[in-house]
Chain A
Amino acid sequence: MQSISKHLPHYFVLFGLLFAGILAFVLFSYDRAFQMIVAVAVATSYVIWGLVHHSIHRDLYFSVVLEYLAVAALGLVMVFSLILRT
């Protein structure tokens, strides 16, 4: 919790990115290709956010990078699977 309040601006940026992603999905519900591009963009932004955040916090390690990649990949696989089946 301390970490959250300490890096509040960082989390505002992250929430902005994620909220923009949800909004894009709603607004472009008719365009599957665009939704897939949005999903890739948001997942990439999330990983980059993690790298920058941990880099600033001076605790960026290889396992941390892999963790962000693993979470982003899992989310991306699920969203792609759902989009392709709509």
Chain B
Amino acid sequence: MKFIQKIAHLIIPRESNNQKAKLLHNSSLTFITFAFILYQLIISFVPRFAPKILGFAANISPDEVVRLTNEKRTQVGLSPLSLNSTLSQAAQAKGADMLNKGYWAHVAPDGAQPWVFFTNFGYKYKYAGENLARDFSSASSAVEAWMNSASHRENILSSKYKEIGIGVIDGNLAGVDTTIIVQFFGTKYADTVPAVPIAEAKAAVAPAASPTPIPLAGQVKILVSPFSVTKSVSLGIVGLLLFVLIIDGILVSKRRIARIAGRTFAHIAFLGMILAIALILKAGKII
């Protein structure tokens, strides 16, 4: 009974809370704001002391990226790409290079093009392409992001490519824990009529997004994405406040309660915008 009274005190305007849900009092809103800031500080600093708990590690497997990529290709009548282990090694090396040198780009700060990784691993290509992605929580979200980008989609749905290699690597990129997916596309020079010179083949390369390779089985860490937990908590708080504001607005209007307070409807509109923004924001990036 006492518990129900306490809940009512928090969410329903009544005498005990001066006809305004306690959660909507200035003191409560300020408390929630500072608690949220404290929570953000905790999830920012915890990884320094317990690196295995918080950070970003997506539950992505390279095989799943290949499967979804081929699914997109077959949907438009293209033949599926075959997984090439040399390309996968090259893609993994590109991911490691980005983490080691701290860059997020197709071209390394020293000017090294992505195609260098192809040739370094002995893959003589006629056509080559690269998609990059980072911070995606699943293979499907990364592949969907690529499909929504014209240049990346062009790589995935190019009839010029016959093979694919995927590299997924976890690490710290410029101070941010992340998972990078590197998707390499290629067609071996030997597989084609040797009429087009390498230089021409390079000109036909269509660099696209850069996905992050999925960790190999056994390398998957039990980590939580700080973005995902921040988003979940934000949605929870805003959802709760909207619920309480709506109840408050209805009861105050019904009971014709006169009080000194801000406009409930304006608060609902503002928090509705925050809710929309929280839903719009996505963590993953592609190049």
- A contact set with B: CB distance below 8 Å: 1-4, 11, 14-15, 18, 21-22, 25-26, 29, 39, 42, 46, 49-50, 53-54, 59, 61, 63-64, 66-68, 70-75, 77-79, 81-83, 85-86
Return the contact of B36 from the options A11, A77, A83, A85 (Cβ within 8 A).
A77
Q: Are A25 and B283 in contact (CB under 8 A)?
A: no
In the complex, whether B263 has a CB less than 8 A from a CB of chain A is yes
For residue B249, give the distance in angstroms from its CB to the closest CB of chain A: 9
* Bound CA–CA A86/B127 (angstroms): 33
Binding site for A on B (CB under 8 A): 26, 29-30, 32-33, 36-37, 40, 135, 226-227, 230-231, 234, 237-238, 253, 260-263, 265-267, 269-274, 276-278, 280-283, 285
Q: Given the known A-B contacts A64-B261, A64-B262, A86-B227, are A77 and B33 also in contact in the complex, defined by CB atoms under 8 Å?
A: yes
* Chain A hits for B231, CB < 8 A: 82
- Bound Cα distance from A29 to B277, whole angstroms: 11
CA–CA, A73 and B282, complex, Å: 22
Judged by DSSP, the binding face of A is helix
Which listed residue (B33, B234, B272, B280) contacts A70, Cβ 8 A? B33
Query: Given B29, B135, B277, B283, which contacts A74 in the complex, CB threshold below 8 Å?
Result: B29
Is the CB–CB distance between B281 and A86 below 8 Å? yes
Residues of B within 8 A of A59 (CB): 260
A74 touches B36 (CB 8 A): yes
